[in-house]
Amino acid sequence: MNISTINKVIKYRTVKYINERRGWTTKRKIVVIESDDWGSVRMPNREVYEKMLQSGIRVDLSVINKYDTLASINDFEHLYSILSKYKDKNGNHPIITVNTIVANPDFDRIKASSFEEYYYEPFTKTLERYKNRSISSWIEGIDKKLIYPQLHGREHLNVERWMRFLRNGSKEVRFAFDNGLYGIGPDISLEKNPSFVPAFDSDVYLRKHEPENIIDDAYRLFADVFGFSSKSFIAPNYIWDERIEKALFGNNVKYLQGSFINKTATKENRYSYIGKTNKYGQIYTARNVHFEPSSSQRTNYVSNVIKQINNAFQLNKPAIISSHRYNFVGGVFEENRVRSLRLLDELLMNITKRWSNIEFIHSAQLGDLIIE
């Protein structure tokens, strides 16, 4: 490890240590589970996964490309069965804030335009084209207060960048496109292409697709599907800037989910903590617990997560748990969902036994508490 890397690590740990102790505090034992990427297209199925491998693209080396896919009816059923087993001091079940991507590329229309024009479809239409997927599974979870959707973006995609690579003839990007996916990251790209998934990452090229219009579309689509507006927002890949915040403010967004260290569109660090406010009066929150079992094979995984929760409580902070969709789905590898849900079951059992006064709430409720 060189000096530059060591200095970055030291700075990160110092900032995290300080910001974990700043801002809003509470004596209440609050747990918020935030889960990103719901609704977005990633790996369509096992067949496409195998095609990617045969082409030489090592999707097996990327946890997201290997496991992440649209949640199926079966995925929701298994998840709900675990969440329904537990209750907090108020009789509420654990509830997952499912941060939702509300649209996906319309591959057929884009191809029909010879890649000159971009088109999207609501994620509900995407669900209709996939087997064993249905918006009714989402509505069931909302009605039972097991999930609560919030907005993650229109697409989990940098539209301008992706379209440019499609038009310029990248064989890898076109091959992925022909198989219904776009998220081949730089860590496994044979052509060393950039990432296409940070929706609000900056480009040196003139942006044809303005972020303000994307956000306006996203909020309209979200309300159309769920019948209510999203109070909070989490940017894809934790990358956004003041321009995005202004657009979100125009859509009455009050709370900004994220981490202790996020990125601007120009890759600069932006530091945050729970309860920090910006010029628009929007409140930041910061995830301080990580439950991402698909990314780890540690045998003591749950005990490590419990330690993080306990640390948050000792600092009089809510435990805000990061846990992405790929942990809960089994459409590509069923054993992934089986293992993760077993660990979720173990985690929730430990939480409810250790803290009899635990409270499970979603992200918008947390924001409301902070501004009380």
pLDDT at residue 17 tops 70 = yes
pTM of the model: 0.95
- Domains recognised in the chain with CATH numbers: 3-43+58-105+124-157+210-370 (3.20.110.20)
pLDDT tens profile 236-269: 999 999 999 999 999 999 999 999 988 888 778 8
pLDDT tens profile 171-195: 999 999 999 999 898 999 999 999 9
Instruction: Tell me the pairing of strands 147-153 and 358-360.
Output: unpaired
- The DSSP 8-state label assigned to residue 110 in this structure reads H
Non-local (6+) Cβ contacts of 26 within 8 A are 316, 317, 318, 369
Average pLDDT over residues 300-324: 97
- The pLDDT of residue 205 is 53
C-alpha distances (whole Å) from 24 to each of 72, 371, 372 are 37, 10, 11
52 phi/psi in degrees, rounded to 5: -60, -45
What angle is formed at CA 308 by the lines to CA 260 and CA 76, rounded to 5 degrees?
90
pLDDT tens profile 326-370: 999 999 999 999 999 999 999 999 999 999 999 999 999 999 999
pLDDT band at 204 (very low <50, low <70, confident <90, very high): low
pLDDT at residue 206 tops 50 = no
User: Which comes out higher in pLDDT, residue 297 or 368?
Assistant: 368
Over pLDDT 70: what percentage of the chain? Answer: 98
- Helix (H/G/I), strand (E/B), else coil: 142: helix
Average pLDDT of the chain, as a whole number: 94
Angular region, 237: left φ>0, alpha ψ -120 to 50, beta rest = left
Average pLDDT over residues 298-306: 92
pLDDT tens profile 102-154: 999 999 999 999 999 999 999 999 999 999 999 999 999 999 999 999 999 99
What does the alpha-carbon distance between residue 194 and residue 208 come to, in Å, rounded to a whole number?
A: 19
Considering Cα of 234, then 296, then 347, then 45, what sign does the dihedral take?
Answer: positive
C-alpha distances (whole Å) from 3 to each of 10, 15, 111, 267, 268 are 10, 18, 48, 21, 20
Considering Cα of 222, then 228, then 234, then 235, what sign does the dihedral take?
Answer: positive
Contact 136, 71 (CB under 8 A): no
**Helices 334-354 and 73-83, interaxial angle, to 10°?**
20
Instruction: Tell me the pairing of strands 269-271 and 261-263.
Output: antiparallel
pLDDT tens profile 149-175: 999 999 999 999 999 999 998 999 999
Question: Would you call 97 exposed, middle or buried from its count of C-beta atoms within 10 A (0-12, 13-18, 19+)?
Answer: buried
**Helices 73-83 and 135-143, interaxial angle, to 10°?**
10
Contact 235, 282 (CB under 8 A): no
